[in-house]
Amino acid sequence: MDLGTVLGLIAGVILIGTAIISGGEAVIYWDPASLLITLGGTVAATMINYSVRQVLSIFKLLKVVFITKELEPGEVTSLIVGFAEKARREGLLALEDEANELDNEFLRKGIQLIVDGTDPQLVRNILETKITFVEERHNQGQDIFRTMGTLSPAFGMLGTLIGLVRMLSELDDPSSVGGGLATALITTLYGSLMANLFFIPMAGKLQVKSEKEILMKEVIIEGVLSIQAGENPRIVEEKLNAFLPDAGVQRVVDSMEDPEMAVEDQ
């Protein structure tokens, strides 16, 4: 459950809603035809660019953003250091059973590879190739949202142009100018709102999440290879902690708290 995203969306909707209602009748801002052309046009152009399946995948991506429970990086480090200690005492094969119980499929795969006695270079190749493709897949998800964030204001402006042309060519009745212009502008409003309150921040969110996941996978690769090389658990911990500054990514912000630290921090 991602608190920031949920709070941000609610706050944004309330703010815009208040701005709309506080001015008087809110109904003038509701125009289904305008919504259809802005959102519909955006989805249509996105479908041309990607495929039906990829466009549908954004609902799954939304689930990822809102529901995903994240593993704390500290947990990963302590898991790996634990494995390193066990492997030192009892040998690599002793890891097999524990590995099978892991929820994290990437770590499980890594442990399995070294238990099978795979060549270290091949272990690295296989796991890094996996990361590369996870990264590409995540990038594609972000790209879909970014594309929609570019297209929705464009289709909003298109709707406004259609409304303007209509209104201007029927300028016989000057009293209708205001209303026509207002309706024409609604699509621009919708397009801009969708892009700035939804598509663009969502793409950013997916990127933040993706970077966190990729980082964790990189830590796992280093850890698994260290275990295979039979390195001292203390050195393994040292190495992995360099990846996760201080007490892990969750302290990223705190470490900036003390300005003295920010210049001298590690």
Q: Which of residues 110-169 bind a second copy (CB under 8 A)?
A: 122, 125-127, 129-130, 133-134, 137, 140-141, 147, 151, 154-155, 157-159, 161-169
Helix residue ranges, H only, the chain: 3-22, 32-35, 41-49, 52-67, 73-90, 95-100, 105-115, 120-169, 177-194, 200-228, 233-243, 259-264
Nearer to a second copy, 56 or 93 (CB): 56
* Whether 219 contacts 73, CB under 8 Å: yes
- Site residues (CB under 8 A) for a second copy, limited to 51-90: 51-57, 60-61, 63-64, 67-71
Nearer to a second copy, 8 or 74 (CB): 8
User: Quick one: how far is CA 221 from the chain centroid?
Assistant: 22
Nearer to a second copy, 94 or 181 (CB): 181
Residues present in the chain in total:
266
Of 79-87, 92-100, 256-264, the segment contacting a second copy by CB under 8 A is 256-264
Compute, in degrees rounded to 10, the torsion defined by CA atoms 259, 262, 263, 265.
130
- Site residues (CB under 8 A) for a second copy, limited to 183-242: 185-186, 188-189, 192-193, 195-198, 200-202, 204-205, 208, 213, 216, 235, 238-239, 242
Contact between 103 and a second copy by CB under 8 A: the answer reads yes
User: Quick one: how far is CA 62 from the chain centroid?
Assistant: 9
Q: Which of 50, 85, 88, 94 binds a second copy (CB under 8 A)?
A: 50
